[in-house]
Amino acid sequence: MTQVIRTAAELREKVAAWKRSGMLVGVVPTMGALHDGHLSLARAAREQSDRVIVTVFVNPMQFNNPADLEKYPRDEAHDLALLEAEGVDVLFAPGVDEVYPDGFATTVSITGITEPLEGAFRPGHFDGVATVCSKLFGMTQAGRAFFGEKDWQQLQVVQRLVRDLNIPVRIIGCPTIREADGLAMSSRNVRLSDAHRAIAPRLHEVMQGAAARIREGLPAEAALNDARAALAEAGFGAIDYLELRTVEGLRPAADLSEPVRMLAALWLGDVRLIDNIAV
């Protein structure tokens, strides 16, 4: 039975009892509308902790675009059924007033790693993520927290956060789960039209093709330019970025002299897709 908890006070009591019995608590922070990507994190948490909390909170503070917040998919009953099936112990689903009560005045802001890529295109986004993750770590008191590599920059940001603020939680990165056709699973995919859903897997395919050409020795910028043209040809809209960055620190990379990742964000109609792969 998955217990639904909505207040930090009730959650604290529950977690304190677990900890008194020596249990290791794992948390999976999400914004709900759960899919197999989220469930893979819950499974990893199940394997690597004694008790599992999945949080579902659509965090207004990290949405730079009000329309995106309004249209963000929500289905708590379905989420709960999926979490029951995974044997998750607690669904923590606080309301906005529980997380940001009257008088709330703190922002956790990280420099450097938050500035390029998502940070450049979603101003304030990572302040919202860092602030809510600090809150969620405080509220859940978890010893391990599981994040998807699909949000590669977010994973780096959260690692920086817990190191910088000595938050006693170990961050575990988990691989991106994809549909059979290669599209990275994402809650926002349900908003794609049928026509756009058919185009969407081309993103991963084009990125993999570009990565292969870079590994074969083609200069990265040439491979990325060809990839941008192929994406436009396939029917994608604006490309926010398609770049090669160092795995650690996300510094711009022109070649493979150190471990690099290819990261992309682009539009299909009014849906923004992100993805990243190892090169």
Ligand X SMILES: Nc1ncnc2c1ncn2[C@@H]1O[C@H](COP(=O)(O)OP(=O)(O)OP(=O)(O)O)[C@@H](O)[C@H]1O
Cα(129)–Cα(105) distance, integer angstroms = 15
- 151, 196, 227, 231: which one binds ligand BAL (CB under 6 A): 151
Q: What is the signed CA dihedral for 97, 160, 204, 277, rounded to 10 degrees?
A: -160
Nearest-approach distance from CB 41 to ligand X, in angstroms: 6
Which residue, among 136, 173, 160, has the nearest Cα to 61 in the 3D structure? 136
Residues of this chain, 217-246, that bind ligand X according to CB under 6 A? none
| Per-residue contact flags (x/-) with ligand BAL for residues 110 to 149, judged by CB under 6 A | ----------------------------------------
- 27, 31, 52, 80: which one binds ligand X (CB under 6 A): 31
Closer of 55 and 154 to ligand BAL (Cβ): 154
| Sign, Cα dihedral of 28, 243, 64, 236 | negative
- 90, 184, 220, 260: which one binds ligand X (CB under 6 A): 184
Cα(176)–Cα(38) distance, integer angstroms = 10
Residues of this chain, 48-77, that bind ligand PAF according to CB under 6 A? 59, 62
The region of 74-82, 109-117, 122-130, 183-191 touching ligand X under the rule CB under 6 A is: 183-191
The region of 6-14, 81-89, 178-186, 259-267 touching ligand X under the rule CB under 6 A is: 178-186
| Sign, Cα dihedral of 53, 57, 61, 67 | positive
Q: Look up residue 14 and give its two tokens.
A: 């529950």
125 is catalytic: no
Phi first, then psi, for residue 9 (nearest 5°) are: -65, -45
Please list the alpha-helical segments (H only) found in 123-219.
125-140, 152-164, 194-199, 202-215
30 binds ligand X (CB under 6 A): yes
Cα(239)–Cα(272) distance, integer angstroms = 9
- 118, 151, 243, 275: which one binds ligand X (CB under 6 A): 151
Closer of 14 and 191 to ligand X (Cβ): 191
Sheet holding 239-246, edge to edge: 239-246, 260-268, 271-278
Q: Which residues bind ligand X (CB under 6 A)?
A: 30-31, 37-38, 40-41, 147-148, 150-151, 174, 176-177, 184-188
Active site residues: 38
Q: Which residues bind ligand BAL (CB under 6 A)?
A: 31, 62, 151, 154
